[in-house]
Structure 1
Amino acid sequence: MIERADQLVLNYVSKAADAAHGVLRADQRLDFAKRLRARIEVERRGSQNAREVSKVLARFGDPAALVEREARRLAEEGVSTMRAAEAGPPAQPEEQGSTRRFPTIVDDGDVPAGVQAYRKIARESLGKGRGLPFAGLRRVAMSSANPMATGGRDARTLVKEHPRDAAAMVILVVAALLLPFDLPPLAIFEIPVVVWAIGAALVLFSESWNLRDRLLGIGAPLLGYSVGGVLVGGLRVGSEPGLQAFFAQFYSVSGTMFMIGTGLGVVWLAYRLLDVS
């Protein structure tokens, strides 16, 4: 959503501004933050997709590292900073503290346009490749030991960045867990069905996942209930004849198959939400 994408940018610039305290002077921090925000907007190219904006911010790297690069660049140009002022007298008057350009980011450089085009094709090819299975999920598991493996993103930060999406997945799980309980219906609807419908609606109208992922996430429980119930129920009928025996077996296993489908769907949604591959 638009608000979420803009919030990601604001959070990133705020982290950079916080990291600049004690390193850059007040005017330098303001100039640095303005240029950083402007550069992000250029790289963002008007995108309002939170996932695409996250990828753009990941290209910029750690905000603290950008501050260090800015401080080194100012020092090389002989411009005084807070750090330089603490270390000794400034090499230049404070009036020269403002800067005119922003340091290059990861994929910048004075390279020919043809090389840049081939680099873009290579990145897209790598992005579409299969790679190692569940490599992104393994990176997330490693994030507690090495935060740089996921750009500082872990389960806690993902919940903070995507509260509604996390709530939707929790609601789907709750709906599955309510199935074994014999709860009174709400009007003509069973309570687990109502709860699942709420979670499915939140997933369906979310912009954090693409349409295929949303349909897989909310369709897995339905497939488990219908297809899984028919297959497993049919196998359990065995030699017993008649529809009555089949329906008895179907209803005895369809709830369990719905719970399994919900678990698989939520795992898929969580994995796609991480998006660290």
Structure 2
Amino acid sequence: MTQRSEQLVLDYLSEVGLVLHGRLTARERTAYLADLRARIDARRAALPGGGPEAVRGILLSLGTPRDLVEREITGRNLDIEDEELIPPKPRHADRPPPPWRGGPSGGLRGLLEGPGSTEMRLEGRAPRETGMLRGLVLCLRHHPAELVALALLLISVPWGWGLSFVWVLGAAFVLLSRVWGVRDKWIAVLAPLLACLAGMALWTGEADFVDQYVQRSLAEYGVIGLGTASLFSVAYLAPKASRSARAAERRRASA
């Protein structure tokens, strides 16, 4: 059989296989297609030449793939126990029940990690590294200096002269970090400074000298802007440090 003749037969068998899908099991489809191929080859061998025209005539005599299947398969008993014909069990059927229905309880860690962590642990996969507690633990392990910087920024949030100087230490830790990029550092440091200046500009009191104006406006309004923007800096930097710590943990686990 020439290459063109072989391609005609293969195309026809492929179309028949598509029509058979869902009507026969995989085992039955394989057996039927093998029998059909044998019949085509036997009829081709009985014809002289066996070129593409002869093969095309044999296929036309069989009819279209759909007609052939309807003619030869209709009424045939199917093996309904074959797993291919049984609808697959939906994924949620394997989901463990919640703790209040007798399922496993992950305690506080399960609540922090999220609803998908218990299911993935039962399936043998690593739990999703989500949750605030998990991120703090990984930051403490891989990026302790960045965690100290975030803590110092938080300490400076209470408005008042007593703790505002702590912000300077936190900003220094941020600037020396190797985890946050240059853009992140500028945002985290400049935002509180600009907010502090904006708060000082809103002060409506009176002062005889510049140093008195700076001192009074900073004490009354500047520290408010500084503390508020420090919260923004922590909220901006913390997720980045957490993602970096998780990536370091994955590299450590795969090493």
Q: Give the TM interval when normalised to the shorter protein.
A: 0.3 to 0.5
Q: Given the two structures, how large is their TM-score scaled by the length of structure 1?
A: 0.36
Higher alpha-carbon Rg: 2
Q: Given the two structures, how large is their TM-score scaled by the length of structure 2?
A: 0.39
Higher relative CO (Cα under 8 Å, sequence separation at least 6) belongs to 1
